[in-house]
Amino acid sequence: MPGTIWVYEAGDIDGSWTGGVESAKVGIIMPINPVVGDVYRQEFALGDAEDMGEILSLTASESVPGASCTGDCVQTRDFSPLEPGVEAHKYYAPNIGVILEVEDGDRVELISMTKP
């Protein structure tokens, strides 16, 4: 989101790719009008990056140090056919974006943000 500063510890960029390079296709991080049950590609490079998302809820609730939402979070399940059984759940707060990602019991939380 323009003008929003996300404070978190970034990981490395191993496995990153660029859309249009070596047939890699760009994808969708979040549909503009999400519907529960929608499944969409987040990125696609055959055999290398095949991440997908599924809309699980439009009425989820979550709270982290930097933000919260009550009954109006979009919850997704992120997965890849290249890694069966591995998935992450993300919670998107209105007018903020991702506030929480949960994978294998590990939580990545929005700690703080500053809006202009």
- Residues 57 and 37 sit within 8 Å (Cβ to Cβ): no
Whole-angstrom distance, CA of residue 77 vs CA of residue 87? 7
**What's the mean per-residue pLDDT of the chain?**
82
pTM exceeds cut of 0.85: no
Minimal CA–CA distance to 63: which of 6, 109, 112? 109
Predicted local distance difference test score (pLDDT) of residue 82: 93
Task: Give residue limits of the domains in the chain.
Answer: 25-109
Residue 108 · residue 101 · CB < 8 Å = yes
Q: For residue range 66-88, what is the model confidence (pLDDT) as tens digits?
A: 999 999 999 999 999 999 999 99
Residue-wise pLDDT for 18-31, tens only, equals 555 656 666 777 88
Rg for the chain (alpha carbons), in Å?
15
